[in-house]
Structure formats: structure tokens, C-alpha cells
A = this chain, B = another copy of it.
């Protein structure tokens, strides 16, 4: 009943959506802690590592720079004494993303407005016989 499921790099690539190249890259820049090796030197990923990668993916997708993720990973490695600092990082990132979200929504409205405007212009065009400059 032990969760000894060990994934190959190929499998993890499929599961996480990262390429094998990127998985190795993430490991060597210190984003991934402790990837175990098989007898032949090949990487063997655990469920834990996969969950770790999936969280990293969410940080990336929300725009956290690699640099910051490296810092986060470093704190993680230092153990529970860094819980507060990690939490602070997440809070700060949360605020940034929230603001980003607000802006996106605002800009989306402008784009919507423009779509409607283009609609009107096209309708005008069809009701007119002679083209008019914009």
C-alpha cells in the first residue's frame, strides 16, 4: 500500500505539461528539491514532486518570475523555520495577481467597447452607398 509510484521524466512531462528539457532545467536551477535517481542514473519522480511541480506551474502561470520561485524553493529547503517568510511571499504575490486581474478586466471592457464600435461602423457602412473616411 506504499505509494512507491515512481515516474519517469517522460511521464512527468506528460502529466505536468512541462517538457523533459524544462524539468531538467528547473531541477538544475534549484526549483525542484531532491529528484531521486534509479540505478542507471535516470530520474525517478514521486507524487510529491509532481504536486510540487504543479504548484510551481501555477506560480509561473500567474506571472511569478523564475528568480522569485528560486527564492521560494530555497526557503522550502530550509524547512519549517521559513514558513512565515514563504507565507509572506505568497501573500505579496497574491496581491500582485489580484491587481493584475483587475487591470485585465478593465482592459477587457475597453476591447469589448471597441468590438461594439466596429460593429456599428460596419452597419453604417452597409447602410451607406458611398465610403467615408475614418
- A110: chain B residues at CB < 8 Å are 55, 58
- The answer to whether A87 and B134 have CB atoms under 8 Å apart is no
Chain B proximity of A65: nearest CB distance (Å): 15
Which residues from chain B contact A134 at a C-beta distance below 8 Å?
79-80
| A61 contact from B58, B103, B122, Cβ within 8 A | B103
Which residues, 34 to 82 on A, are CB-close (under 8 Å) to B? 55, 58-59, 61-62, 79-80
> Any chain B CB within 8 A of the CB of A14?
no
**Least distance between A73 CB and chain B CB atoms (Å):** 14
Cα–Cα, bound, A58→B108 (Å): 8
In angstroms, Cα B77 to Cα A124, docked, is 19
Q: Quick one: given A87-B118, A101-B105, A104-B101, are A111 and B62 in contact (CB under 8 Å)?
A: yes
Interface residues of A (CB under 8 A from B): 55, 58-59, 61-62, 79-80, 83-84, 86-87, 90-91, 93-94, 97-98, 100-101, 103-105, 107-108, 110-112, 114-115, 118-119, 121-122, 125, 131, 134
